[in-house]
Homo-oligomer: A and B are copies of this chain.
Amino acid sequence: MTPSDRPGRIGGVDGVTDSPLDGLWWPGDHRGGALMTGTALLGAAVRVEQVWLDALVDVGAAPAGARADLGDLAGELDAAALSQASEAGGTFVMALVASLRAALRDSGRETAATWLHRGLTSQDVLDTAVLLCARDAVRAVRRELRAQAERLVVVVEEHRGTSVVARTLTQPAVPTTFGAKASGWLHGLLDADEALAALRWPVQLGGAAGTLSAVVELAGADGARALQRALPAGLGLEPAAPWHTRRTPVTRLGDAATTAADAWGRIANDVLALGRPEVGELRDGSAGGSSTMPHKANPTLAVLVRRAALAAPQLAATLHLAAAEQVDERADGGWHVEWQTLAQLLRRTVVAAGQASDLLRGLHVDAERMAARVEDGADAVLAEQRSMAALTGRPPAATYLGLVDDLVDEALARARTHEHPVNAQEDL
């Protein structure tokens, strides 16, 4: 079993949130499971310490007697106490290291206790653990995006001939097809997935101030270089120059997550607008009820997806601000503001991803109503065609759908060649 296989479970990162009432404030929160929870973060931090301790022994910096399996101890940690203790140190890492050392000593593993965390600083552990958590969240989002893209491919194919009124600035414009419309949604999802796929997952390893001085003191320069390779290798991350106060890995995450939320928000808005019964061309299948109105069938999923899209940009802005407010070799607040901001942004992105999948899965397309409205409104929606025909002196063509077939084919082709290497990543 390689270090990276160790699950680092703390009281069980088994898919269950440790904030089970958050759904009262953010309906659907349970979809996030254990992703971006405190439990997940602690588990990831222990995993970082584990891989590092193993590596210290492997490269000969620490004696063989320092080898220890932290997995058992992790299950014994008092997570709530660590959470509370985090204020004194500004992060929980000091308290975590102290707890793990105490537990190692209690079980007679003094040497491991001594060597645990040596050479690292809190930020190494925390930044790396946050990225491990984030990677899990991004994988979950990408799985949903893949499912959504697959679903949209079917929708696009099914409705490439379904006439529908195109609307601009809320008013009927010209005819299009629902397949073309859904092709636009599909491009949006693929754009988002490209942004997520392009994310980088650099290990954070610099020691107290990004120089790896303690590591060199402990292991010599060559040993330090070996450790620089071992930590990311053990965690499936990229080796990287320290990014203690250069936060591009974090801002990219925020930007990509927001790009996904944008794509879903844009779809939700169409479902909401075309789902008004007076339009009645789309219907969110969620059919949420009312506490007082027996007849209500509310587009709950679309509403909740749209909600997430309204909130994401400001969270991503906070991450950029945090990056802009870096200073020295560890920032005085600009670092600390990142953690929960990112956790919430990513968790909500996971939740919205699932809701968007369900929304697309249950979406009802009323092709007849779409077609009827094109017919009823033909006089208006073909006004442009008449003016073009007047220009050419030729009679108007039989249809006025331009290159929708090309556009639909292009979108389908992009979807089919788009790589979703989520599973590959999971093997890391």
Given A90-B303, A187-B246, 4 more A-B residue pairs with CB atoms under 8 Å apart are: A28-B87, A119-B388, A170-B328, A266-B323
**Bound form: Cα–Cα A344–B303 in Å:** 21
Structural contact, A304 and B87, CB atoms closer than 8 A: yes
Structural contact, A91 and B402, CB atoms closer than 8 A: no
A292 to chain B: closest residue by CB: B121
Contacts of A196-211 to chain B: CB distance below 8 A: 207-211
**Bound form: Cα–Cα A309–B88 in Å:** 19
**Bound form: Cα–Cα A400–B246 in Å:** 23
Structural contact, B248 and A259, CB atoms closer than 8 A: yes
| A20, A278, A302, A323 pick with most chain B CB within 10 angstroms | A278
Known: A241-B410, A317-B314, A324-B309. A90 touches B304 (CB 8 A): yes
Contacts of A164-223 to chain B: CB distance below 8 A: 166-176, 180-181, 183-184, 187-188, 191-192, 195, 207-218, 221
Decide yes or no whether A349 CB sits under 8 A from chain B.
Answer: no
- Report the copy number of this chain in the oligomer: 4
**Bound form: Cα–Cα A286–B340 in Å:** 22
Decide yes or no whether A24 CB sits under 8 A from chain B.
Answer: yes
Structural contact, B401 and A211, CB atoms closer than 8 A: yes
Decide yes or no whether A325 CB sits under 8 A from chain B.
Answer: yes
List, in ascending order, chain B residues with CB within 8 A of A404's CB: 211
Decide yes or no whether A41 CB sits under 8 A from chain B.
Answer: yes
A122 to chain B: closest residue by CB: B291
**Bound form: Cα–Cα A247–B294 in Å:** 26
**Bound form: Cα–Cα A158–B392 in Å:** 50
A300 to chain B: closest residue by CB: B90
List, in ascending order, chain B residues with CB within 8 A of A296's CB: 168-169, 171, 173
Structural contact, A276 and B278, CB atoms closer than 8 A: yes
Structural contact, B291 and A307, CB atoms closer than 8 A: no
Known: A298-B90, A310-B324. A84 touches B384 (CB 8 A): no
Decide yes or no whether A86 CB sits under 8 A from chain B.
Answer: yes
List, in ascending order, chain B residues with CB within 8 A of A396's CB: 217
CB distance from A310 to the nearest CB of B (A): 5
CB distance from A368 to the nearest CB of B (A): 15
Structural contact, A383 and B295, CB atoms closer than 8 A: yes
CB distance from A154 to the nearest CB of B (A): 19
Known: A273-B327, A317-B317. A173 touches B208 (CB 8 A): yes
Structural contact, B316 and A310, CB atoms closer than 8 A: no
List, in ascending order, chain B residues with CB within 8 A of A72's CB: none
**Bound form: Cα–Cα A180–B329 in Å:** 10
List, in ascending order, chain B residues with CB within 8 A of A192's CB: 248
Structural contact, B320 and A407, CB atoms closer than 8 A: no
Question: Chain A 266-298 against B: per-residue CB contact (8 Å), 1 yes, 0 no?
Answer: 101110110111111000001011111111111
Structural contact, A241 and B187, CB atoms closer than 8 A: yes
Which residue in B39, B86, B241 is a CB contact (below 8 Å) of A27?
B86
List, in ascending order, chain B residues with CB within 8 A of A331's CB: 169
Which residue in B181, B242, B310 is a CB contact (below 8 Å) of A333?
B310
Decide yes or no whether A425 CB sits under 8 A from chain B.
Answer: no
Decide yes or no whether A233 CB sits under 8 A from chain B.
Answer: no
List, in ascending order, chain B residues with CB within 8 A of A373's CB: 278
List, in ascending order, chain B residues with CB within 8 A of A278's CB: 276, 278-280, 373
List, in ascending order, chain B residues with CB within 8 A of A169's CB: 90, 288, 296, 298-300, 303, 328, 330-332
List, in ascending order, chain B residues with CB within 8 A of A108's CB: none
Structural contact, A221 and B88, CB atoms closer than 8 A: no
Which one of A1-9, A92-100, A139-147 contacts B?
A92-100
19 A-B pairs whose Cβ atoms sit less than 8 Å apart in the complex? A24-B79, A24-B83, A27-B92, A87-B300, A90-B300, A118-B388, A122-B292, A174-B208, A208-B292, A208-B293, A218-B391, A225-B403, A245-B266, A266-B326, A268-B333, A303-B336, A306-B324, A312-B320, A313-B320
